[in-house]
Amino acid sequence: MDVRELTWFTTLAETEHVTEAAAALNIAQPTLSRAIARLERRLGTPLFDRTGHRLRLNSYGQVFQAHALRALDELSAAEHRIATLIDPEQGTVALAFLHSFGTWLIPDLIRGYRERVPKAHFLLRGDAADVILADLRRGHVDLIVTSPEPGGEDVLWTPIEVEQLCVAVPSGHPLARRKRVSLAELADADFIALRSEFGLRQTADQLCRRAGFTPRITFESTELATVQGLVSAGLGVAIMPPPRSASVPGGPVYLRLSDPEAHRTVGVATLAARHQAPAVERFHEFVRSWPG
C-alpha cells in the first residue's frame, strides 16, 4: 500500500463522490475507482456503501480512514523532520543531559548557539547518566551532556567544563562555620545522595573512596532539590555542585572541599560511528569549543 493510495482514499472519504474526488486529485475517475477497488480487495471488505452516484463510508471505512489519516500525518512529520535535519540553520537537535545541568549549562549552551543560529530547534531531555547514555546508544538522542566520561569505545566524549564540587551540611552542623573542609573529616557522617545510576553519585562515591572511606548513605533520591531539602532538615550531608542561586534561609551551608579531585568534568558525547546530520554536527562543534 503506497502513500498515493492512502491520499486518494482519504480524499474520496472526505468528498464521498468519485467525480469530485477525481477532480480534486487531478486524475481520471476510472483510475480512482480501480484504485479503491484494489484497496478493498486487499483489505477483504468494502469501505463504502454505494447509493447511486453517492458513497458513504461504512464502519470498516471509518476505521481505515482514522488510521490512514494518522499514517499520512506521521509521514508528513517525518519529511519535515528530515528536511530540518538536513538544513543546519533550521535543523533539530535531540539533546539529553543530566538533570543538574538543566539550570545553568544547557540554557547557556543553547542561548549561545542560538545567537549564531537563531532558527535552531532542540528536543531536550534531562535524566540520569545511565539512562541518557542508553538513549544515545539506541539512537533516541543525537548528543548527551554528561559526567563522568562514559565507558565504551563506541562513545566519542569531549570534555567541555570542569565543575567544582562542595559538601552541603545543615546550618547547625559543627562544621557549618568553616569555609573549607576535607572529605576525610566527614567519614563518620550520614550521607544523602542521588541514586547509583546518576553521574554525580558515581563521582561522589569515587571521591569518598579516594579519601579512604565508603560513605554511609542514609537516603537516596532522584532529584538534587530533594537532596538539598533533606540536608536542610538535618538528616545528613551531601556532595553537591555549588548553588547557582542565592541561598535560601534555613537551607544548607555549602563548604568548599579541599580534596584536589573534588570536581567533575563535564563533556559532550555522541556515538563514534554515527553519521551526524548537518544541524547536529554544527551544534556538536559549537559545544566542543565551549569556553568552559
Average pLDDT over residues 234-256: 86
DSSP for 255-269, please give it. Answer: EEE--TT-EEEEEEE
In the three-class reduction of DSSP (H, G, I as helix; E, B as strand; rest coil), residue 56 is classed as strand
Alpha-carbon span 6 to 227, nearest angstrom: 53
- Residue that wins the pLDDT comparison between 254 and 103: 254
Q: Are residues 148 and 276 in the same domain?
A: yes
Assess whether the previous peptide bond of 148 is cis (omega < 30° from 0). Answer: yes
Last residue of a domain, one of 52, 85, 118: 85
CATH at residue 31? 1.10.10.10
Alpha-carbon span 252 to 51, nearest angstrom: 77
3-state DSSP helix/strand/coil % of the chain, to nearest 5: 45, 25, 35
Q: Are residues 158 and 170 in the same domain?
A: no
Burial class (CB in 10 A: 0-12, 13-18, 19+), 236: buried
Q: Are residues 130 and 242 in the same domain?
A: no
List, for residues 41-92, the tens digit of each pLDDT value.
999 999 999 877 678 999 999 999 999 998 888 887 777 667 666 666 667 8
Nine-digit cell at 43? 483489505
List, for residues 121-172, the tens digit of each pLDDT value.
899 999 989 999 999 999 899 999 999 899 888 999 999 999 999 999 999 8
Q: Are residues 152 and 270 in the same domain?
A: yes
- Give pTM, 2 decimals: 0.65
Q: Are residues 156 and 99 in the same domain?
A: yes
Q: Are residues 181 and 252 in the same domain?
A: yes
Amino acid identity of 54?
A: R
Domain extent, residue 24, equals 3-85
Q: Are residues 255 and 175 in the same domain?
A: yes
Q: Are residues 211 and 277 in the same domain?
A: no
Q: Are residues 155 and 173 in the same domain?
A: no
Q: Are residues 207 and 64 in the same domain?
A: no
Q: Are residues 75 and 42 in the same domain?
A: yes
Residue 292 in this model has a pLDDT that exceeds 60:
no
Last residue of a domain, one of 57, 85, 113: 85
CATH at residue 210? 3.40.190.10
* Range from 17-31, 78-92, 241-255 carrying the lowest mean pLDDT: 78-92
Domain total in the chain: 3
Q: Are residues 238 and 194 in the same domain?
A: yes
* Range from 81-90, 179-188, 240-249 carrying the lowest mean pLDDT: 81-90
The per-residue pLDDT of the chain, averaged, comes to 89
Last residue of a domain, one of 41, 56, 85: 85
DSSP for 109-160, please give it. Answer: HHHHHHHH-TT-EEEEEEE-HHHHHHHHHHTS-SEEEESSPPPSTTEEEEEE
